[in-house]
Amino acid sequence: MNPNGNPAPLAQARRRDSIDKRLRVLTAIECLERDDAPITHTAVARTAGVSTWLTYAEGVREHIHAAQTRQNARPATSRLPGPSTSAGLRTDLELARQEITTLREERDRLRTAMSHHLGQQLDALSSQLLTTRIDELTQHNHQLTAQLQHTTTENTTLHTRVTQLEDDLAAARTSLRRMIRDENLNQ
C-alpha cells in the first residue's frame, strides 16, 4: 500500500508485470518454434526469464501445448539436420578427419615460418648493439660492486662505533653506581 492507503497503484503494477511476463513467454514460444528447438515448460521458462510455475498457469499452458502439438506434427526428418544414415555419418567423420589433418599440417607450417621469422629478427640485431649493452651491464655491475664494498665498510665502522659506545655507556653506569654508593655511605 502507498502512504495514502490506496492499493490501486500496486495492483496496476502487478497487472502490468504479469502481462509483460506472459508476453515474454509467448515470444519465447515463437523463438523456440522458429529455431526448431524442443518446446518444454522448462525451456520456455528459461528463454523467457520467468519461473516454471508461470508456464503451467492457465492461459499460458495452452499456448505451450499447442506449440508442442505443432512441433510433434512436423515430420521427424525436418527436425534432424544433417545425414541420418550410418554411411552419411561415416562420410562426415572421414571429412572431419581429413580437415583435422589439413589443419594440423597448416599449424606446423605456421610454427616453422614463425620460428624462421624470429630467427631472422634475432640475426638482424647488430652485434654492435649487443656489445654496447654488455659494456653497459658490466659497468653497472662494477658500480654496484663498489657501492656494496663501500656500504660494507661503512657498516663495519658503524658496528665498531656502536660497540665502543655500548662499552662507554656500561663504564659510565658502573662509575655512576659507585659514586652514588660512596655518597650514600658518606652520609
Span 101-154, pLDDT tens digits: 999 999 999 999 999 988 887 777 667 777 888 899 999 999 999 999 999 999
Residue 174 is part of which domain span?
Answer: 126-187
Are residues 29 and 64 in contact, defined by beta-carbon separation less than 8 angstroms? yes
Do 103 and 134 sit in the same domain of this protein?
no
Do 134 and 177 sit in the same domain of this protein?
yes
Q: Say if residue 156's pLDDT is above 80.
A: yes
Contacts of 89 (CB under 8 A, 6+ apart): 83
Tell me the pLDDT band of 28, cut-offs 50, 70 and 90: very high
Domain presence at residue 2: no
Do 67 and 110 sit in the same domain of this protein?
no
pTM, rounded to two decimals: 0.39
Do 61 and 116 sit in the same domain of this protein?
no
**Domain total in the chain:** 3
Do 131 and 170 sit in the same domain of this protein?
yes
